[in-house]
Chains A and B, each alone.
Chain A
Amino acid sequence: DQQVKQNSPSLSVQEGRISILNCDYTNSMFDYFLWYKKYPAEGPTFLISISSIKDKNEDGRFTVFLNKSAKHLSLHIVPSQPGDSAVYFCAAWGTTSGTYKYIFGTGTRLKVLA
């Protein structure tokens, strides 16, 4: 049962434009959300996070938006750069069956075209 979903497996964007990556979750008890970036043959690296008490968090070119009522979050990258090309994972920190863990989506491969 996929509790964190990224329905777009891939996304292509022109350099300089906005990239929007989406993520949906099913468990309303999740209270902390993260985005990770992964290059081939490397581990995921933390990008940005947001607590459930907020609806927006910004860090430079990266902004994460959270819509709790819709159980939806999105990552905006503006402006997109070729170096942003990677797989992006959405993750939720929360409990299922009483144990806390990071639960990941299946990832979205972003390709930024020069």
Chain B
Amino acid sequence: DTAVSQTPKYLVTQMGNDKSIKCEQNLGHDTMYWYKQDSKKFLKIMFSYNNKELIINETVPNRFSPKSPDKAHLNLHINSLELGDSAVYFCASSQGYRDRGETEAFFGQGTRLTVV
């Protein structure tokens, strides 16, 4: 039973299209994240939600819009895809936030997005 699952695992799409990546966690965690791993393999945070509230938005273009319908789900919608959006996107969740942060994050298997 997968703890953090994201779909799809692979996504190939043309420039200018709009696409969504879905993420669900069954761990009962309060906090969810989106991370981007670029071509240099650097894992960089994009967004963080705590109990459906946006906590972190790390200078991500407006074309990226996260949506959290409930605390178990955090979806990522990307408008007008560009070549530079090609990367692996990881969803994660954790129980911690602020001073309750001494806990680990659990990651999904990643979505490899290729924009052609």
State the A residues within 8 Å of B (CB). 31-32, 34, 36, 41-46, 49, 51, 87, 89, 93-94, 99-104, 106-107
**Within 8 Å CB of A32, what residues of B?**
101-102
Interface size, chain B (Cβ < 8 Å) = 28
Chain A residues with Cβ below 8 Å from B55 are 99-100
Chain B positions near chain A (C-beta within 8 angstroms): 4, 33, 35, 40-45, 48, 55-56, 90, 92, 94, 96-98, 101-102, 104-110, 112
Interface of A: prevailing SS: strand
Of all chain A residues, the one with the shortest Cβ separation from B110 is: A43
If A51-B102, A100-B97, A101-B48 touch, whether A43 touches B41 (CB-CB below 8 Å) is no
Chain A residues with Cβ below 8 Å from B98 are: 100
Number of A-B contacts (CB under 8 A): 62
Name the B residues within 8 Å of A94 (CB-CB): 101
Question: How many Å lie between the Cα of A102 and that of B4 in the bound state?
Answer: 17
- Minimum distance in angstroms from A87 CB to a CB of chain B: 7
Specify which chain A residues have a CB less than 8 angstroms from the CB of B104 in the assembled complex.
34, 46, 49
Question: Measured between C-beta atoms, what is the minimum distance from B23 to chain A in Å?
Answer: 11
- Known contacts A45-B107, A102-B94; can you find 5 more A-B pairs with CB under 8 A? A31-B102, A41-B110, A87-B41, A93-B102, A101-B48
* Bound: A102/B112 CA distance, A: 21
Determine if A43 and B33 form an interchain contact, defined as CB atoms under 8 angstroms apart.
no
* A32, A44, A104, most chain B CB atoms within 10 A: A44
